[in-house]
Amino acid sequence: MKRPEKDAGPTTGAMSTEGTTGGDPQALADLGWRTFFTAQIADETEAELIPVRVMAVNRNGLLVSGAAVETTVPPYLSIEGSETAQATVGDWLLVDPDTMRPERLLSRLSLFKRWAPGKGRMVQLIAANIDTLFVVTSCNLDFNVARLERYLAVAREADVTPVIVLTKADLVDDVAPFVETAAKLMPGLEVEVLDARDPESARRLLPWCSHGRTVAFVGSSGVGKSTLINSLIGSERAATRGIRENDDKGQHTTTRRELYRLSSGGWLLDTPGMRELQLTNVKEGLGRVFAEITDLAKSCRFTDCQHGDEPDCAVRAAIAAGEMDAERLERWRKLVAEEAENSESLSMARQRPARRSTARPPRIREDTDED
Ligand SMILES: Nc1nc2c(ncn2[C@@H]2O[C@H](COP(=O)(O)OP(=O)(O)OP(=O)(O)O)[C@@H](O)[C@H]2O)c(=O)[nH]1
Ligand SMILES: [Zn+2]
């Protein structure tokens, strides 16, 4: 199926919502609705349904918001056995206005998921319809290009635009080498550098956090994510503290994952799953991050060239000519190997349990509090 065009750019202003009857178009646009979703409404019957966004996944249902609607609806379960069979936080659903049952899950702009081994668990959905992933690292000890490339690959695999955020700019004499190194890690990559403690400097992230846009943060502990999030959430900062305190004490929380409103009109998706993004099944993402290697490899003599000692290797020729960094190739090699090993060990772990009938759809499981 051909996907409708996504709306482009971080600073896109008003988003069209014509074609829905789910209430005030502006209220829907505020929640992140855009033409990509409108275009999926098939017919008049579907136009009668109410579009709602999943704000949190609870044990007993989905907390959803729409235009003048905020309620809990039963879990969405489709008969199709695929990753579209369940709704996750950030998803858009069409619900029946009379029964308030979810009737349809709309195609996603992006999807973070992870593969889990054992007990028939396969795909765990983490979050849908995130526009921007802020990959946070500090301009000091935490700065590690291979780790950044790993996050970038996971973001690109999920169809999310990553933005590198370099914090602790105040602790180094010269930020230029960090910015320069980071910017080269992926074609078109944007890099922001700031002191996360300064609320004025956190404003640098606002272009991605405008009305209806959804963002998430990843990065090692202590790099400044919470500090930045508190600046962006503004008056609603207590909400974030709330989940953190609950998580830290391991308390049972009914809404473990949620979308938070940012003072700029955007949404922050902050979930434990986001903080544990893994390098599995991200072959395509790696190809996009290391686009120059993927491109050069097309000119290697052998289609399966490993860019080692094969003759007529275009990648090694580029390194010899000083057009490419040998260390970059080395990191690519390691990440590809790591990705293959992780993905392989997961698929082995999945095959180990007694085989089920092939007629049965793959099981999809949300990550719940037992994890
Ligand atoms: N000097 C300086 N300190 C910072 C900056 N950003 C964060 N810090 C400090 O670093 C410490 C850790 O910041 P947090 O915002 O808690 O880091 P985090 O990424 O949320 O860490 P986790 O919650 O463990 O994931 C705090 O004491 C912050 O005040 C910065 O840009 N400059
Ligand atoms: Zn080659």
Atom of ligand 1 nearest to the CA of 168: 31
Whose CA is closest to atom 13 on ligand 1? Answer: 224
Whose CA is closest to atom 12 on ligand 1? Answer: 222
CA–CA gap between residue 131 and residue 257 (Å, rounded): 17
- Residue 363: partners with Cβ closer than 8 Å, 6 or more residues away: 120, 121, 122
Q: What is the pLDDT of residues 107-132, one digit of tens each?
A: 999 999 887 765 555 778 889 999 99
Residue 173 pLDDT > 70: yes
133: confidence class by pLDDT, cuts 50, 70, 90: very high
Kindly give the distance from the C-alpha atom of residue 193 to the centroid of ligand 1, in angstroms, as a whole number.
14
State the pLDDT at residue 154. 94
Closest CA to 215 of 292, 289, 296, 271: 271
Kindly give the distance from the C-alpha atom of residue 301 to the centroid of ligand 2, in angstroms, as a whole number.
7
Residue 314 pLDDT > 80: yes
DSSP element (H, E) containing 67: none
Q: What is the pLDDT of residues 66-77, one digit of tens each?
A: 998 899 999 887
Annotated binding residue at 169? yes
Residue 237 tokens read as 């900062």
Annotated binding residue at 313? yes
CB 50 within 8 A of CB 92: no
3-state per-residue secondary structure call for 301-341: CCCCCCCCCCCCCHHHHHHHCCCCCHHHHHHHHHHHHHHHH
CB 64 within 8 A of CB 72: yes
Mean pLDDT of all residues in 188-206: 92
Kindly give the distance from the C-alpha atom of residue 290 to the centroid of ligand 2, in angstroms, as a whole number.
14
Annotated binding residue at 221? yes
Which of 115-119, 141-145, 221-225 shows the lowest per-residue confidence on average (mean pLDDT)? 115-119
State the pLDDT at residue 138. 93
State the pLDDT at residue 82. 64
Atom of ligand 1 nearest to the CA of 219: 19
Grouping H, G, I as helix, E, B as strand and the rest as coil, residue 190 is: strand
Which of 84-93, 287-296, 315-324 shows the lowest per-residue confidence on average (mean pLDDT)? 84-93
Mean pLDDT of all residues in 175-180: 95
State the pLDDT at residue 38. 94
CA–CA gap between residue 160 and residue 150 (Å, rounded): 14
Annotated binding residue at 168? yes
State the pLDDT at residue 161. 97
State the pLDDT at residue 103. 92
182, with CB counted inside 10 A (0-12, 13-18, 19+), is buried
Whose CA is closest to atom 15 on ligand 1? Answer: 224
Kindly give the distance from the C-alpha atom of residue 196 to the centroid of ligand 1, in angstroms, as a whole number.
7
Give the ligand at the shortest distance from the Cα of 248: 1
Annotated binding residue at 235? no
Atom of ligand 1 nearest to the CA of 217: 19
Residue 14 pLDDT > 60: no
Chain center to CA of 257:
14
Mean pLDDT of all residues in 4-23: 44
Kindly give the distance from the C-alpha atom of residue 332 to the centroid of ligand 2, in angstroms, as a whole number.
13
**What angle in degrees, to the nearest 10, is found between the helix axes of 237-248 and 225-233?**
140
E strands, the chain, are 50-58, 61-66, 69-73, 92-95, 102-105, 111-115, 123-128, 132-138, 161-167, 190-193, 214-218, 258-261, 267-270
Beta strands 214-218 and 132-138: pairing type?
parallel
Q: ipTM of this model?
A: 0.94
Residue 12 pLDDT > 80: no
Atom of ligand 1 nearest to the CA of 201: 31
How would you label 359-371 residue by residue, b for 16+ Cβ within 10 Å and e otherwise? Answer: eeeeebebbeeee
Kindly give the distance from the C-alpha atom of residue 224 to the centroid of ligand 1, in angstroms, as a whole number.
3
4 half-sphere exposure, CB direction, 13 A CA radius: 14
Closest CA to 12 of 164, 232, 222, 211: 211
Kindly give the distance from the C-alpha atom of residue 340 to the centroid of ligand 2, in angstroms, as a whole number.
19
Which of 140, 142, 197 for mutating ligand 1's site (highest number of atoms within 8 Å of CB)?
Answer: 197
| Rama region for 250: left / alpha / beta (φ>0; ψ in -120 to 50; rest) | left
**Whole-number average pLDDT of the chain:** 81
CA–CA gap between residue 146 and residue 328 (Å, rounded): 9
Which of 223, 270, 271, 276 for mutating ligand 1's site (highest number of atoms within 8 Å of CB)?
Answer: 223
Ligand 1 binding pocket, CB closer than 6 Å: 167-168, 170-171, 195-197, 219, 221-227
Whose CA is closest to atom 29 on ligand 1? Answer: 197
Alpha helices for 68-215 (secondary structure H): 145-157, 176-183, 199-202
Beta strands 161-167 and 190-193: pairing type?
parallel
> Residue 341 carries which side chain, given as an amino acid letter?
E
Annotated binding residue at 249? no
Kindly give the distance from the C-alpha atom of residue 139 to the centroid of ligand 1, in angstroms, as a whole number.
12
Sorted by where each starts, the structural domains of the chain and their CATH numbers stand as 1-108 (2.30.30.140), 110-289+325-360 (3.40.50.300)
Annotated binding residue at 280? no
Give the ligand at the shortest distance from the Cα of 138: 1
Which of 4-13, 38-47, 83-92, 225-234 shows the lowest per-residue confidence on average (mean pLDDT)? 4-13
pTM of the model: 0.82
Annotated binding residue at 167? yes
Residue 366 pLDDT > 80: no
189: confidence class by pLDDT, cuts 50, 70, 90: very high
CB 289 within 8 A of CB 236: no
CB 165 within 8 A of CB 118: no
CA–CA gap between residue 65 and residue 259 (Å, rounded): 11
